[in-house]
Amino acid sequence: MKNSERKLENYKWFPIITGLFVAVLLISNIASTKIINIGPFVFDGGTLLFPLSYIFGDILTEVYGYSGSRKVIWTGFISAILMAITLAIVAAIPPNESWQWNDAFKALFSLVPRIVLASLIAYWAGEFTNSYILAKMKVFTKGKWLWTRTIGSTLVGELVDSVLFVSIAFIGILNPGIVLTIIISNYLFKTGVEVIMTPLTYRVVSFLKKEEKEDAFDDKTNFNPFLIENESKTK
* Domain definitions of the chain by residue range: 8-212
- Which pLDDT score, from 0 to 100, does residue 27 have? 92
Tell me which of 5 and 136 has the higher pLDDT: 136
CB atoms within 10 A of CB 193: 20
| 37, β-bridge pairs | 42
| Rounded percentage of the chain residues whose pLDDT exceeds 70 | 92
Q: 67 with 230: CB under 8 angstroms?
A: yes
The pTM is what? 0.84
Judged on CB neighbours under 10 Å (0-12, 13-18, 19+), 68 is buried
**How far apart are alpha carbons 214 and 63 in whole angstroms?**
6
Query: What is the band of 2 on the pLDDT scale with cuts at 50, 70, 90?
Result: very low
Helix (H) or strand (E) holding 121: helix 112-140
Residue 45, pLDDT above cutoff 90: no
CA dist., res. 102 & res. 111, Å (int): 15
pLDDT, one tens digit per residue, over 107-144 is 777 666 777 788 889 989 999 999 999 999 999 999 99
Quick check: 21 and 9 in contact, CB under 8 A? Answer: no
Q: Is the CATH code 1.10.3470 the one for domain 8-212?
A: no
Cα gap 167→182, rounded to integer Å? 9
The residues, any chain, with a CB within 8 Å of residue 51's CB and separated by 6 or more, are 158, 189, 190, 193, 194, 197
**What is the pLDDT, as a whole number, of residue 184?**
92
Closest CA to 221 of 232, 211, 210, 213: 232
Per-residue model confidence as pLDDT tens digits over 143-152: 999 999 999 9
230 or 223, which is more confident: 223
Look at residues 139, 4, 149 and name the one whose alpha carbon lies nearest to residue 64: 4
- Rounded to 5°, the CA angle 51-26-195 comes to 5
**Phi then psi for 41, rounded to 5 degrees?**
-90, 140
- pLDDT in the model for residue 44: 80
Residue type, 11: Y
